[in-house]
Amino acid sequence: MTAELTVAAVDLGASNGRVMLGRVGSRSLQVLEVHRFVNGPVRVGPTLHWDVLGLYREVLAGLSTAARGHDLAGIGIDSWAVDYGLLDATGALLGNPVHYRDNRTAGVLKRVLETVSADELYAVTGLQQLPFNTIYQLVSALGTAQLQVADRLLLIPDLLGFWLTGQVGAEATNASTTQLYDVRSRTWATHLAERVGIPKRILPPLREAGDIVGNLLPGVAADLGLRATIPVIAVGSHDTASSVVAIPAVPGGRFAYISSGTWSLVGVELDSPVLTRAAQQANFTNEGGVDGRIRFLRNVMGLWLLQECLRTWGTDGKVPDLSELLRQAAYAPAFISLINPDTSGFMAPGAMPERIALACRASGQPSPSGRAEMVRAIMESLALAYRRAVRAAQELSGIEVEVVHIVGGGSRNELLCQLSADACGLPVLAGPVEASALGNILVQSRTLGAQLPDLEAMRALVAATQTVRRYEPSGRSADWQLAETRVFRDEQQVSRT
């Protein structure tokens, strides 16, 4: 590659979306946000939906902005996992996708395990048991008119790609999160689908990160002011898969990662899945990564707890100053009020400060005395959950970690990064913030001819061009060990992650 490539990365998170402009040269990597928008759920009757048509409108607006004055060479889309839209035989969408936080899957996991054992599910899919996994969403929809007439299931990035190109498929890193994917053969586990009543016809052809989905439909290209020959390229369409691509790790380095946003994904990167009984009991997941890697990780509730507190505190129209709250929280007393952030009671939206206070009282602790103390409790509790996950990942994988990389929005949170270093007893390298967009851009660029033959080359370019901040562990390890024992003394509670 001699000339600089310019691509558009659509990066959709659970609370907001962005369209980013990426420029990649032989020694340069730049990312520029051109359009940001809110991504919030919409409740219709008892059901919590995604406004997927609104998302598509915003994606088109962002791509149109990106096209102004730039010769785009490609487009890639990544998003959160597990949620989907159903298409009929004509390609029409059968209703707005349901949000993974909707309660329609309550009790479904237990029903599925009466047909397929937890041992068999883990042996085939390697996934942790999360009640909102795609398999449980689909089982909850059995008997509905939508599922009866559905011709294809498309995960969110693939649905948006279908509207842009008219091409149907499922990118593998995101497909691997459905609990309908065989992690060893890297194919759909159609036998599992059929046993629980899910019609295998709805599972679309699989594609790999780096494959070309298709060129823009002529009408879409005309509306955007783009050439119809511009390809949409499959990237690591699960946003964490793209984030892990952009970890600025040194070649051969032994690292753990925390992809920190609304959720925190904490784990290590492997060449093959870990399907042991110990990994299953620890509720670790084996998700597909770019270039056939395995993301061996545990989901932690993440900054959702803080986001919901801020939303609750802002209902009077006075939006709290997060930077000031974090500054105050840094000086608040340590280890006063701690929670297990993965307790199921924190999953739903609404009244988060009250639920955290109630959980503290129920465990014999004082409730946080103010907002800063509440933020301190959340940050310390997340750091403790990270500590447990990083240590478990090392033990289960046999990899001794030297450093922890925090990427994503949480890498800007200095208090969280420092507490994470203290809790893990390891250096933390924080950044880049826009890791998922950068990973998206890098995979596109390789497909388009950039000399980025492997993940190591991509990461080397990230390390050479992006800002990373280092945090050294401080404090007493014994204090964190005691706090961990306080919070996670009930192993069955921990397994509900």
Q: Which residues are catalytic?
A: 239
**CA torsion 470→471→472→477, rounded to 10°?**
-150
Helix ranges (H only) for 331-434 are 352-362, 371-397, 414-424
Give the SS3 label for residue 239.
Answer: helix
- Distance (Å, rounded) from C-alpha 156 to C-alpha 52? 8
Place of tokens 């880049």: 432
Q: Report the amino acid identity of residue 420.
A: S
Helix/strand/coil for 32: strand
Among candidates 258, 242, 76, which has minimal Cα distance to 174? 242
Q: 278 by DSSP, 3-state: which? A: helix
Measured CA to CA in angstroms, residue 120 lies from 1, 11, 195 at distances of 47, 34, 12
Count CB neighbours of 194 within 10 A: 11
Q: How many helices (H) and strands (E) does the chain have?
A: 20, 21
Q: How far lies 317's CA from each of 67, 304, 310, 320, in Å?
A: 36, 20, 11, 9
The bridge status of strand 403-407 relative to strand 255-260 is parallel
CA dihedral 7, 8, 14, 15 (to 10 degrees): 130
Looking at the DSSP bridge assignments, the partners of residue 227 are none
* Rounded Cα–Cα distance for residues 150 and 153 (Å): 8
Give me 485's structure tokens. Answer: 């024992």
Count CB-CB contacts under 10 A for residue 294.
Answer: 22
If one counts every other C-beta atom within 10 angstroms of the C-beta of residue 57, the result is 12
Give alpha helix (H) positions in 31-117.
52-67, 108-113
